[in-house]
């Protein structure tokens, strides 16, 4: 199984698997032209592509959208983020998918109004990726100027390839994790969903 290979071979396999999703590779290529600081394509479009390939489904099956995170703490205005979103709308025009662009440096400004819980300011795009409800989701990929892929995977890749959904009780509450896991399992019944831990050293907040 790929999830039991040495990490360098897992990285090679990840690129080979993700490259089978032509929409994803096009999103990566087009995002690179936007010049967004600290950007990654992240979340479901990555691990769900892996799930699809591993289970013999079409690479794009069940993928709702493609998330692009970036980090610009120098301008926290909505106008600056909206400009990036509109630029992306032009760059991604014609793709058969929805691409969502978000400045993760701004999340703390609107999160409490939307969810009723304070979200501490992130210090980087990586920190935002760290807060997903499942460790399996904590994955980001971008292409560098030399064409190489930069992969951020703080919890490794084994769970992704082994179809394991593991809770990440750092910020997201149990309800968010369980709702997401239930939805994923409907689409990919082969998943092994691990239970939320009975206790957590970190008081939960909302982020997912």
Going from the first residue of the chain to its last (208 residues), give the mean pLDDT of each consecutive group of 10, the final group possibly shorter.
64 93 96 96 97 97 96 96 96 94 93 75 96 94 89 94 94 87 96 87 43
Domain assignment present for residue 35? The answer is yes
Note the pLDDT of residue 176. Answer: 87
Note the pLDDT of residue 2. Answer: 60
Note the pLDDT of residue 205. Answer: 42
Domain assignment present for residue 105? The answer is yes
Note the pLDDT of residue 201. Answer: 46
Domain assignment present for residue 189? The answer is yes
Domain assignment present for residue 34? The answer is yes
Note the pLDDT of residue 207. Answer: 41
| Under 8 Å between Cβ of 40 and 152 | yes
Domain assignment present for residue 178? The answer is yes
Note the pLDDT of residue 140. Answer: 97
Domain assignment present for residue 91? The answer is yes
Cα Rg, the chain, nearest whole Å: 17
Percent of the chain that is helix, strand, coil (3-state, to 5): 45, 15, 45
What is the domain range of residue 141? 2-193
Domain assignment present for residue 204? The answer is no
Domain assignment present for residue 7? The answer is yes
Residue 128 in 3-state DSSP?
A: helix
Domain count, the chain: 1
Measured CA angle at 46 (ends 106, 54), to 5 deg: 160
């Amino acid at each position: 199984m790929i999830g039991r290979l040495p990490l360098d071979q897992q990285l090679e396999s990840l690129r080979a698997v993700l490259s089978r999703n032509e929409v994803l590779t096009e999103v990566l290529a087009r995002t690179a032209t936007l010049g967004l600081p600290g950007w990654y394509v992240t979340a479901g479009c990555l691990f769900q592509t892996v799930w699809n390939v591993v289970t013999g489904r079409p690479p794009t099956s069940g993928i709702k959208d493609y998330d692009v995170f970036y980090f610009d703490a120098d301008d926290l205005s909505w106008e600056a983020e909206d400009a990036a979103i509109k630029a992306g709308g032009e760059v991604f025009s014609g793709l058969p998918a929805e691409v969502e662009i978000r400045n993760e440096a701004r999340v703390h400004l609107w999160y409490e109004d939307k969810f009723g819980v304070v979200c501490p300011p992130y210090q980087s795009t990586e920190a935002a990726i760290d807060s997903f409800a499942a460790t399996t989701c904590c994955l980001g990929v971008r292409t560098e100027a030399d064409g190489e892929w930069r992969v951020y995977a703080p919890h490794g890749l084994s769970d992704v390839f082994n179809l394991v959904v593991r809770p990440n009780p750092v910020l997201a509450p149990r309800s968010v994790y369980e709702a997401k896991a239930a939805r994923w399992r409907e689409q990919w019944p082969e998943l092994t969903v691990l239970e939320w831990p009975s206790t957590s050293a970190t008081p939960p907040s909302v982020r997912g």
